[in-house]
Chains A and B, each alone.
Chain A
């Protein structure tokens, strides 16, 4: 262990010398601002923080973070990040990706990084469109979505990032929204604190190619009536006046008005450890349901690095620490 000099880091320490270039009004600006606000609070030395990205608008994020980082190739950021995490377990690694980068060309890598529970924080900026290549439909675009590459409307069932992460047994699955900055900061803190893969879907606005995607839930004034903020061990209540809730009716969630026939005790109580509840929540989509915001699932399992180190330790206990000289002079070293 090297000693680290304790320094008070501030937001400015994480601002790089690059002029931030996204389209005016892009949701990425606010995610960047929250990130730069949250990082100094974590108590992690700056030189141990790494941002890795692929290709796309979101993938320019590391340009603007004054940390170590790699701007890599399309869809493959999780592979670089996994190798880095396995080789340097004490780094704090963030993967910044978009819906196309993560779920189309990089879908396979994403699944396996989560399955292995590599100690990574994956932030998926979901704007349901290809921005950098100018407006093709993405794997999360809604059915019927008319874009340059789907002039008659998409005929494809979109992927739900949360259920994909849950299927891959991700140990931390959460959602936040670019315009809801305070809550976004909270989710980033929770993701940073988790050991293992943290997967965060961030609803993000592409002002140029998909400007109305989040209509109905991105307006600060009306949002409380249309989304639900999750808290562990608390009932699912929402609404400006806390007058609505979600209960289970058989296997189906159901939005109910409180105060009449239904009260708080009828509602689902959020449990971050329940995979079953996580699926139910992840399927609640606007406009039929209030989409959940916050930590949907969080469980502690051994991380990939812990498992890896555990195996090395066991091998050393069984066979002793390696001695290269002995190996050289042993007989039959080269039998295959």
Chain B
């Protein structure tokens, strides 16, 4: 067992005014009200820091949406490139009067608060620095009224923060230029307020901020994009021609992005006609029904949804599995059961999705952990669905899908599309026979024809009822069992086709850590902290289900492994125990779910508690 000191946040917060400045390693929380246009301001700050070459990550912690409710935007600036949520934010932009008391209370000692000086009352704390800037004069100057006044307020804090952090105005201008898609009229009117606020801060704030952003070269060539946009772009590169969906947070922006990219990228060069369709269905049952219909006919069809939509798709998922119809279902996970926390993040749909459908159903799942993987799996999911002739589920989450992440530019897919075992009229002419559900190759995957194939042998009837190898209705016990065993054989084949896990091993590792998806960022940081204390660890990030031999081998190399996930019941832990029963006792579940992205601190403390418990046990013996 490893002895681990309890974790503290990386930054030991300095006490002004004597201490040395803290450069490129702190977190900011911006407290505003929903629907006031603060997204523009927050993205301007985020992008400006990014354009200074400093690694940065932004997370929107927002309420289930009604205008005017409090919303918090977290910006983490990290020279080391850490992107996980931090439990403390040293800087606060307090622009929401209704939450200011709580927000100021949450600041660590030595923190800095920039507040709207028009607020009627203000909490006091003598161990943090409070800096006020009035908003009314700027609104008056602009001559704007009502709602537009809120936009001015946002630009006021952008200007003041730029001054406090040392972000050059030119960088804010560049950031707004991206945001407003080079429409200079908007950029200039916003910049006028930013400049005025910057100047005001320069003239009136008698305080040298300890927290500074200084230029680096760590973001050159990188870009900022949300997971949902990346997924949509991947789907376009993967050949999507049909999408059906029903609006649901947090998957909506994935389809919005498709609607944005497809008209530009999918027109017949000859006729100018669109070569795709995106349909807003009446509910999620209809959405999956539509994509199975399209997938059956050979289209690359997808939907995007979240937990409640997945619930509605259960019966159709069974039909897709049993009739062996390709389709791609993105589940951008939120927090359930039921409506739950619709604007918070989690990994609670793993078990349900893996077995979705009644009877013996097993589904292929992909777990993207980065925007680059959202893009990659946008393509791969279609290939897998075609190769395996089955619905493929991609489990993203709200944190990945809706927030902006730094990434290397995406690479054009190296492999051509894999459409799987489709037989043409010429093939049938040559073979002289065709049986839709016959296991010709021993891998459980049969051959399929597509409607429109004119050969007399080509037509077959897809059904959700019992069938034999010729797709003919059958209730014979032997036919049923043979078919179900073949489907399981096919699932064994899938083990070799899903993306391999990513494994990082150290010599003398004390234990292994297993995770999937966006918990990676907290774990990367936690492992670095553990390494600083002399505790080496191995790490395996799963990228899909079912698991393959690499996963089993990794588990076999460690006496104990911590399985970290964002849910209550340790869902992937349960699946691993089931699929590697001989190693089940080695796997320790560290499951945690509060609706927020995981932090390194939680991971270190959870592991430390386990290791300390182990130490007590062994010394008692």
Contact = CB atoms under 8 A, between A and B. Distances in A.
Interface string A139-158: 10000000011111000000
A323 B226 CA distance: 66
> Which of B246, B247, B252, B263 is packed against the most chain A CB atoms within 10 Å?
B247
Contacts of A75: 283
B347 interface: no
B67 A136 contact: no
A149 B252 CA distance: 9
A136 B252 contact: yes
A105 B308 CA distance: 12
A283 interface: no
A136 B35 contact: no
B68 A150 contact: no
Contacts of A24: 67-68
A21 B308 contact: no
A131 to B, nearest CB: 9
A149 B280 contact: yes
B249 A133 contact: yes
Given A133-B247, A133-B248, A136-B247, A148 B68 contact: no
A104 interface: yes
Nearest to B282: A104
A208 interface: yes
Interface in B276-324: 278, 280, 282-284, 308
A240 interface: no
A232 interface: no
Interface in A25-80: 55, 57, 60, 71, 73-75
A57 B282 contact: no
Contacts of B255: 149
B259 interface: yes
Contacts of A150: 280
A22 interface: yes
B229 to A, nearest CB: 14
B66 A23 contact: yes
B257 to A, nearest CB: 11
Count chain B CB atoms within 10 A of each CB in A55, A100, A133 and give the residue with the most: A133
B551 to A, nearest CB: 36
A60 B93 CA distance: 30
Q: Is the interface of B mostly helix, strand, loop or mixed?
A: loop
A23 B68 contact: yes
A73 B338 contact: yes
A313 interface: no
B339 interface: yes
Contacts of A151: 259-260, 263
Contacts of A136: 247, 252, 280
B312 to A, nearest CB: 8
B506 interface: no
B308 A74 contact: yes
Nearest to A59: B339
A235 interface: no
A130 interface: yes
B65 interface: yes
B256 interface: yes
Nearest to A148: B256
Interface centre among B67, B248, B260 (most CB of A within 10 A): B67
Nearest to B65: A132
Nearest to B260: A151
Contacts of A208: 35, 67
B68 A73 contact: no
Interface residues of A, number: 29
Nearest to B64: A132
Contact of B339 (A21, A23, A73, A107): A73
Contacts of B65: 132, 134
A130 B247 contact: yes
Given A24-B67, A133-B248, A105 B256 contact: no
A120 to B, nearest CB: 21
A137 interface: yes
B69 interface: yes
B308 A73 contact: yes
A152 B276 CA distance: 14
Interface string B243-285: 0001111001001100110010000000000000010101110
Contact of B282 (A71, A130, A137, A139): A139
Nearest to B245: A149
A23 B65 CA distance: 9
A118 to B, nearest CB: 21
A107 B66 contact: no
A249 to B, nearest CB: 36
Given A21-B66, A24-B67, A104-B282, A149 B35 contact: no
A104 B283 contact: yes
Contacts of A71: 339
Contacts of B282: 104-105, 107, 139
Interface in A79-128: 100, 104-107
Residue from B67, B248, B280 with most neighbouring chain A CB atoms (10 Å): B280
A209 to B, nearest CB: 10
B343 to A, nearest CB: 11
A101 to B, nearest CB: 10
A71 B278 CA distance: 31
B283 A23 contact: no
B549 to A, nearest CB: 41
A41 B166 CA distance: 64
Interface in B67-92: 67-69
B66 A149 contact: no
A21 B69 contact: yes
A83 B67 CA distance: 34
A107 B286 CA distance: 12
B437 to A, nearest CB: 33
B283 A105 contact: yes
Given A134-B65, A149-B256, A149-B280, A105 B246 contact: yes
A132 B339 CA distance: 13
Nearest to A20: B66
A55 B307 CA distance: 14
Given A73-B338, A136-B247, A208-B35, A149 B67 contact: no
A23 B67 contact: yes
B562 to A, nearest CB: 35
Contacts of B249: 133
A21 B247 contact: no
B252 A134 contact: yes
Contacts of A55: 339
Interface string B25-66: 000000000010000000000000000000000000000111
Contacts of A137: 280
A240 to B, nearest CB: 31
Interface in B222-252: 246-249, 252
Given A73-B308, A133-B248, A136-B247, A23 B280 contact: no
Contacts of A104: 246, 282-283
B247 A149 contact: yes
A21 B68 contact: yes
A317 to B, nearest CB: 41
Interface string A183-196: 00000000000000
Contacts of B248: 133
Task: Give the top 10 A-B pairs by smallest Cβ distance, nearest first.
Answer: A105-B283, A23-B67, A133-B247, A104-B282, A136-B247, A21-B66, A149-B280, A130-B247, A151-B259, A133-B252
19 contacts: A21-B66, A21-B69, A23-B35, A23-B66, A55-B339, A57-B66, A73-B338, A104-B283, A105-B283, A132-B64, A132-B65, A133-B247, A136-B247, A136-B252, A139-B282, A149-B278, A151-B260, A208-B35, A208-B67
Interface of B: 35, 64-69, 246-249, 252, 255-256, 259-260, 263, 278, 280, 282-284, 308, 338-339
Given A100-B247, A132-B64, A151-B260, 11 more contacts: A21-B66, A55-B339, A73-B308, A74-B308, A75-B283, A133-B249, A136-B247, A136-B252, A136-B280, A137-B280, A149-B280
